[in-house]
Amino acid sequence: MMQRLAQAPNLAIATLWADLLRQDGIEASVQRQYLGSAAGELPPDQCLPEVWIHHANQLARAQQWLADLGNTPQHRWYCTCGELVEGGFEQCWRCGAWMPR
């Protein structure tokens, strides 16, 4: 039996989540992906795409995966030019140097 994992803020995020879950061996699909055009006729929160898990026994693992994704630590590094680079950036916005590995 399929179970809903989460509503996504948009179709791109829902598709990304479902693809990443499938890569991790969790069968997932995007539902309600075409309801965005009905916003206004239907309540906007009812038109958001959803990610559904195909097998109930994979739901807990998928929930943990989504929680881990939301708590991913951000990179914070100092470039050789002295600039502090925060967030998911791997290239310095001041001089263009790449993050050291």
Q: What is the pLDDT of residues 13-44, one digit of tens each?
A: 999 999 999 999 999 999 998 776 666 677 77
Residue 39's pLDDT is 65
CA distance 40 to 9: 16
To the nearest 10 degrees (0 to 180), the angle between helices 11-23 and 59-70 is 120
- pLDDT higher than 70, residue 12: yes
Give 78's Cβ-side CA count (13 Å radius).
3
Residue 37's pLDDT is 66
Residue 75 β-bridge partners: 87
